[in-house]
Amino acid sequence: MSESAEPDAVPSAGPLPVAGSALAAFALGIGAILALPLSTPLAPMWAVGAILAGIASRRRLRNDPSVRGSRLSVAGFLLGIVAAVISFVPFWLPLLFTALNPATYFG
């Protein structure tokens, strides 16, 4: 009889756990994008949350090699940036046009 067991085989530890802050950043980014058509204050709030959670998770991932989730944190950060820009543009444009209108200053 021949044994097929490999001597000194190291058991696999499995995949590394995903950082909770990376999952939070991604979930908040997706939520912010999905909340954009609703015209509620949820989109900008969730966008800011996604940006902050993405930054926090990138710091944690850089310092702790025992967790993963770098792509999730970057995706959440970018989705938060996109949602923030889209949700804040309607507030910026009227201010910009008012500031650039000469009639505002020269009556």
pLDDT at position 52, please?
Answer: 97
pLDDT at 68 over 60: yes
Please determine, for residue 74, whether its predicted confidence score (pLDDT) is greater than 90: yes
The string of DSSP codes covering 1-52 is ----PPTTPPPP--PPPBPHHHHHHHHHHHHHHHHGGGTSTHHHHHHHHHHH
Confidence grade of residue 95 (pLDDT, cut at 50, 70, 90): confident
Tokens 């954009």 sit at which residue?
Answer: 36
Task: Give residue-wise pLDDT tens across range 28-54.
Answer: 999 999 999 887 788 999 999 999 999
Intra-chain end-to-end CA distance of the chain, in Å: 101
Pick the more confident residue, 105 or 7.
Answer: 105
pLDDT for the residue 69: 93
Does residue 107 sit in helix, strand or coil?
coil
